Amino acid sequence: MTFWQDLERHAGRVAFVTAAGDTLDYAALACAADAVFDLPRGTPVLLALDNDLAAMIAYLGALRRGLPAIVTAAGDTTADRERADRLIAAFRPAARWSSARGTERLRDAGDAPAAHPGLALLLSTSGSTGATKLVRLSARAVDANAHAIAASLALTPDERAITTLPPGYAYGLSVIHSHLAVGATTILYAGSVVDPAFRAVIERHRATSFGGVPHSYELLDRAGFLDSLPESLRTLTQAGGRLAPELLTSVARRARAAGKRFVVMYGQTEAVARIATLDVDPDHVVAGGIGRAIPGGTLTLVDPETGAFAATAGELVYTGPNVMMGYAEAAVDLARGHELTALRTGDLAERLPDGAYRVTGRRSRFIKPFGLRVALDEVEQRLAAANVSAVAAGDDALLVVAVLAPGDVASAERFVADKVGLPASHRAVLALDAVPRLASGKVDYPALLAAGRAAAGAIRTAASAGALRAALAAALGRDRVEDGDSFRSLAGDSLSYVRASLAIEEVLGTLPERWEELTVARIEALARPTTARADPGFRWVATDVLLRPAAIALVVASHVLGDPANRAIKGGALALMILAGYGLARFQSRRLLGSARWGVIRDYLLRVVAPFLAILLVYRALTPNRFGWQTLLLLGNIVHDPGVRTMAQFWFVPALFHCTLALLLLLAIPPVRRRAERSGWAIGFPLLSLALAAKVAGLALRGAVSADDFSTDAWAYAITLGWLASYAETGAQRWTVILVTALVTALDWGASDSHALIAEAVVAALLLTPRVLVRREVAAVLGYLARSSLFAYLTQGITIHLLRDRLGIDGVAPNVVAALTVGALAYAAWEQLMRRLRDGWRGRGRRWPARRGVSPVCRPSRPALAGRLTPRSCHNPAASPDGSTTIRRRPRSPGR
């Protein structure tokens, strides 16, 4: 009997506990799982899984009912939806399940393809994010692997593992399997391992183990998590690739010092998951060591060419009950039976004197940089067809092409960039006098790869380093940037984020995931783009970079038209408030919770109010408008003086200031701050309720108001909608925010009013389409318009007065173009003025007062706001003048 058919045996024990504390015992789990599907045994279903209770119930429901489960990611990006569509088209499941929609019938069970009676699970092969090639795993294989892992790690029913990887990934799923097999508890956590909530959930629920891939440990190392491991942890496991030897040793030493067990595990999806384990001894670390096979399995070596037995070195072969049935690429393949008895891993390895194994390389002449399958032989053949004599080598980090004629370098470079689609960080083209060869006369590919790495490293050091540092220095107004500096530690904000991110993408070809958290040295040495850019003429731009100038354009257009003609396009200001709240959560939440919270107000005064007051002087000189002390003191939308025009068009500046100040004061209250530290998502709804209550109270106090009520309390709820949008991680959370936005704005403005429609469109765009592919020239323009959006807002009254009122040009298009252009010029002039002031200050031997960051060597003293990521939780990003941002904290870029 498989472990999923035997759940009731552990009745009374907790199977799952969520990060929030909800629990589900084994008996209830079995009952709930049996109620999910009503399809006949053998009917394939598609499951979009995440680490939540509903997903686990649905997954086990499919297994218990004998429905072959095609598992995919639970994301709701365009790439995720397209992959799900491809899987449905290829394998024709009868139903699909997701947390957002539950069970959806796609076709009658009789029209679904027949499946082999032993088939239980279908997983994507490692790295094949764009293909539909799946691994067919039998019920016996899944069950055997779960029990073997449990035995290898000596798991008991008292274990409490916390999830760190998505269940669509074989390693992440096997953690759940092995704990269910022994009646242990799994803590379902869906955030990042370096979110402060990760440590908080471990400590709250007394987690005893967690597992991670190499990138997980790199993040944990940078965040300081490994320096003070939670007391409850007993075991740390690592799989999913080779951990750098120095980090492997460091993790093992820190684990042993804390009395923990550190286990490296090797595996492949083709064998369900893990197939070898190694308890790491920090005093005897073996680079590439994988230990011995799990119980019930066997590792051997064969000659890579002939398949004959090899005694000490060769291709690694695994046999055991968990070997896959075979691959599936179409619906007809689901009916096929077992086609393998042994798994040739494709990895080259050697047997050590103590009987353990270590992996030394890969046999295949294929590489997969970030999932893009590149055939090295095909690269050589296609270059030869173009009359370029070349040899190619590489690994998943770098493609190296060597040509014998220096004049062919440019042609080879264009081919690799345009036809293969690899960015500069993943390619190296060399001109060699002779191809390196072995004594046998064969090409010495390892030597060629080593030469390519050296060349790429030198180029990065000489060129990329300077460009990256120059980009960050220019964006942040610094003289220079050091190795240990990062965008966050230098107190970067949303406006400088736009400039820096576009510049860094220009250098690297794309943005490394969470680049703003990495030190400059780390970006230079370990930059791994999240997706290949097939056409170098295009680049991904964050959606809010598009939304900011678009919102300004709407504001200008409505001011040009005036009442009542502008009613169909009003809502730009509401969009700006939502974007401001989105950015407050993204960039300033840590500061609002920390001891430097008042720096948020200081930066607002310096970066927004200072240019605001300067531009007021220009207004006074060029227009008939007057302004009183209310405007100067940022009270123009609260204290009204009928005798003085208080420049109502500037209501947004004080309104955002008041909202930020109110949020700062609220988060200074200990119970509120503690709740915010636990969950930025959960605190969003009380903040929304409070903002709506303030709006109702304000309306009651003011009585009848005009259609355009510029009081702060009338708009504060928009800030909280943006806050919620920033923290929405799961599909359910994202749709909740979209629906709440629709409800709240419909109640405020009416369901058909342009304010409500624009607000809904902004929130939906931020959550469902976080990045857009545009021409690189367009991206540069949009980036600059986004950075200068504050100045376009501040100067739009001048342009409207000059064009419409003085020159009689009342068309919307010319006024919008003029406003954006003047805003961009004003921003450039202000930046130039600030640069000269800095240079003059430094020329007198003084140090220009920079926005304060926090030393990158400090360590967290307590958890910070859940959902924020930083290398050290005490880093404080500088305040953003408008609260906006350019990218979600977990970028969901297409192709991942």
As a 3-state breakdown, the chain gives helix, strand, coil percent values, each rounded to 5, of: 50, 15, 35
Nearest CA-CA partner of 522 in 253, 218, 225, 873: 218
Residue with tokens 């040495």: 525
How far, in Å, are 86, 379, 450, 641 from residue 446 at the CA level? Answer: 37, 17, 6, 78
DSSP letter (8 states) at residue 882: S
In this prediction, residues 13-23 reach a mean pLDDT of 95
Q: Which residues pair with 187 in a beta bridge?
A: 17, 162
Q: Tokens standing for 633?
A: 């003191």
Q: State residue 762's pLDDT score.
A: 93
Which value, to the nearest 10 degrees, does the dihedral of the CA atoms of residues 229, 233, 238, 244 take? 20
pLDDT band, residue 860 (cuts 50/70/90): very low
Q: Which of 9-23, 331-345, 680-694 has the lowest mean pLDDT?
A: 680-694
Nearest CA-CA partner of 76 in 739, 541, 768, 737: 768
Q: Decide if 684 contacts 666 (C-beta within 8 A).
A: no
Question: Is it the case that residue 857 has pLDDT exceeding 60?
Answer: no
Half-sphere exposure of 629 (CA within 13 A, CB side): 0
Nearest CA-CA partner of 529 in 518, 334, 537: 518
- Beta strands 185-188 and 14-18 are parallel
In this prediction, residues 880-890 reach a mean pLDDT of 31
Contacts of 813 (CB under 8 A, 6+ apart): none
In this prediction, residues 412-421 reach a mean pLDDT of 81
Question: Is it the case that residue 94 has pLDDT exceeding 90?
Answer: yes
pLDDT band, residue 623 (cuts 50/70/90): low
Question: Is it the case that residue 130 has pLDDT exceeding 50?
Answer: no
Q: State residue 374's pLDDT score.
A: 74
pLDDT tens track for 434-444? 778 765 456 78
pLDDT band, residue 559 (cuts 50/70/90): confident
Q: State residue 467's pLDDT score.
A: 63
Q: State residue 866's pLDDT score.
A: 32
The ranges assigned to domains in the chain are 7-362, 367-536, 543-843
Q: State residue 892's pLDDT score.
A: 34
Q: Decide if 245 contacts 287 (C-beta within 8 A).
A: yes
- Mean pLDDT is highest, among 258-267, 365-374, 802-811, for 258-267
Q: Tokens standing for 684?
A: 């969003």
Q: Tokens standing for 102?
A: 């539950």
Question: Is it the case that residue 378 has pLDDT exceeding 80?
Answer: no
Question: Is it the case that residue 233 has pLDDT exceeding 80?
Answer: yes
Nearest CA-CA partner of 726 in 885, 577, 500, 880: 885
Element (H, E) at 503: helix 494-508
Half-sphere exposure of 11 (CA within 13 A, CB side): 7
pLDDT tens track for 689-721? 999 998 888 888 776 555 456 788 888 899 999
Q: Tokens standing for 674?
A: 């503690």
Element (H, E) at 408: none
Q: Decide if 150 contacts 116 (C-beta within 8 A).
A: no
Q: Tokens standing for 211?
A: 């597992």
Q: State residue 569's pLDDT score.
A: 83
Question: Is it the case that residue 844 has pLDDT exceeding 60?
Answer: no
Cα gap 888→885, rounded to integer Å: 8
Contacts 24+ apart (CB under 8 A), 762-766: 762/547, 762/551, 762/575, 762/578, 762/579, 763/578, 763/721, 763/725, 763/737, 763/738, 764/738, 765/543, 765/547, 766/543, 766/544, 766/547, 766/582, 766/725, 766/888
Question: Is it the case that residue 333 has pLDDT exceeding 70?
Answer: yes
Cα gap 318→301, rounded to integer Å: 9
Q: Which of 94-103, 551-560, 650-659, 865-874 has the lowest mean pLDDT?
A: 865-874
Q: List, as one string, the DSSP characters of 757-795.
A: HHHHHHHHHHHH--EEEEEHHHHHHHHHHHHTHHHHHHH
Question: 7-362 has which CATH code?
Answer: 3.40.50.12780
Cα gap 41→637, rounded to integer Å: 66
Question: Is it the case that residue 551 has pLDDT exceeding 80?
Answer: yes
pLDDT tens track for 109-125? 999 999 999 999 999 87
In this prediction, residues 541-562 reach a mean pLDDT of 85
Cα gap 226→235, rounded to integer Å: 13
Q: Which of 7-21, 210-224, 560-574 has the lowest mean pLDDT?
A: 560-574
- Mean pLDDT is highest, among 367-371, 634-638, 771-775, for 771-775
Q: Decide if 68 contacts 122 (C-beta within 8 A).
A: yes
pLDDT band, residue 877 (cuts 50/70/90): very low
pLDDT band, residue 293 (cuts 50/70/90): very high
pLDDT band, residue 851 (cuts 50/70/90): very low
In this prediction, residues 536-561 reach a mean pLDDT of 82
Q: Which of 294-308, 521-535, 633-647 has the lowest mean pLDDT?
A: 521-535
Average pLDDT over the chain, rounded to whole? Answer: 81
Q: State residue 654's pLDDT score.
A: 84
pLDDT tens track for 30-71? 999 999 999 999 999 999 999 999 999 999 999 999 999 999
Q: State residue 881's pLDDT score.
A: 31
